[in-house]
Amino acid sequence: MFILIEARSAVTEVFATQFGREGVALTAFSPAEFTIWAEGATRTEFGAVEGFLIGDAPERPQLVRAIREKGAAPILALADFGALAQTLDLFACGCDDVVRKPVHVREILARARAIRRRAENSTGVATIGSLRVFFDGRDPEVEGETMLLPRRERRILEFLAVHRGRRVTKQQIFQSIYGLFDDEVEETVVESHVSKLRKKLRRRIGYDPIDSKRYLGYCLVAGAQGQARAEADLASV
C-alpha cells in the first residue's frame, strides 16, 4: 500500500486510477487529514505502508517529520516544477527522492523499491531455500522455474518476504494489499489468500515456509527452518 498526501482531488483521482491499474493499493489524504490520522496511527499501521507520496503543500516538512516518527518507508515528493532550489529544499527536509510530474506509477514503484533496497542493503530478491521472491512485480521462482501466482497472493508473498524473519499481522497484510479504508472487502479474505498461497508453496517446494501463530500473525521462515518444521509436523502425525 502507498499513501498519497495531496490537497487537490483531481490529482488524487488520477493517481488512484493509475495505482489501481498496477494492482497496488493507494490511500489518499489531504495534508490536514493525514496529520490527524498519523497522530492516532500505530507503528503497526505505518509498517503496512510501502511508500509515501507527498504532493505540493507548504506543510511538507511537518508531514515528513510525522512520517519519520513512526515509519521508515520511502518518502517521495511530487514536484510540479523542476526548480533546483525547490528540489534541494525537499531533500533537506528529509524526502528520499523528488519526482517531477507527470510521472508513470511504474516509475514511482521502481524508485520506492530502489530506496528500500539501498536502506536494507538488499539486491531486490529474497531467497528462501529454493524459493526466490522478486520485488519488481515478477512472479516468484522455484529452482529457477517461474511459479505463477494470482496478483493478491504474489503481493502477500512479497510483503512477507520484505518482512522475512519478522512476524506480521493479518491487519498489516490486509492494509498493505487493500489499503486503509476498503469497506467493500472483509479482513478475513487475507486468511483465504494465505491458505491458498501456502498450499501452492507446499506443493512446489515440499514444505510450508509460512509460519502462522494465532493472534500473532505470519512469518516467512528460512528454508532449513521451514523444512525442519515440516519434518517435525510429519513426525507428530
Asked if the model's pLDDT at residue 43 lies above 80, the reply is: yes
Angle at 136 between CA 208 and CA 200, to 5 degrees: 20
pTM: 0.71
pLDDT at residue 78 in the model: 94
Find the domain containing 201 and state its range.
Answer: 125-235
| Residue that finishes a domain, picked among 70, 88, 120 | 120
| Residue that finishes a domain, picked among 93, 120, 147 | 120
Provide the b/e sequence for 137-171 (b: ≥16 CB within 10 Å).
beebbbeeeebebeebbbbbbbbbbbbbeeebbbe
95 lies in the same domain as 155: no
| CATH number of the domain encompassing residue 75 | 3.40.50.2300
Residue in this structure with the C-alpha cell 510540479, named with its chain if needed: 80
Residue in this structure with the C-alpha cell 505470519, named with its chain if needed: 218
Counts of helices then strands in the chain (DSSP H, E): 10, 11
12 lies in the same domain as 103: yes
Q: What is the band of 84 on the pLDDT scale with cuts at 50, 70, 90?
A: confident
116 lies in the same domain as 137: no
Residues β-bridged to residue 219 = 211
| CATH number of the domain encompassing residue 159 | 1.10.10.10
Is residue 97 within 8 Å of residue 111, measured between CB atoms? Answer: yes
| Residue that finishes a domain, picked among 102, 120, 138 | 120
Q: Which of 18-22, 85-89, 186-190, 197-201 has the highest mean pLDDT?
A: 197-201
Number of domains in the chain: 2
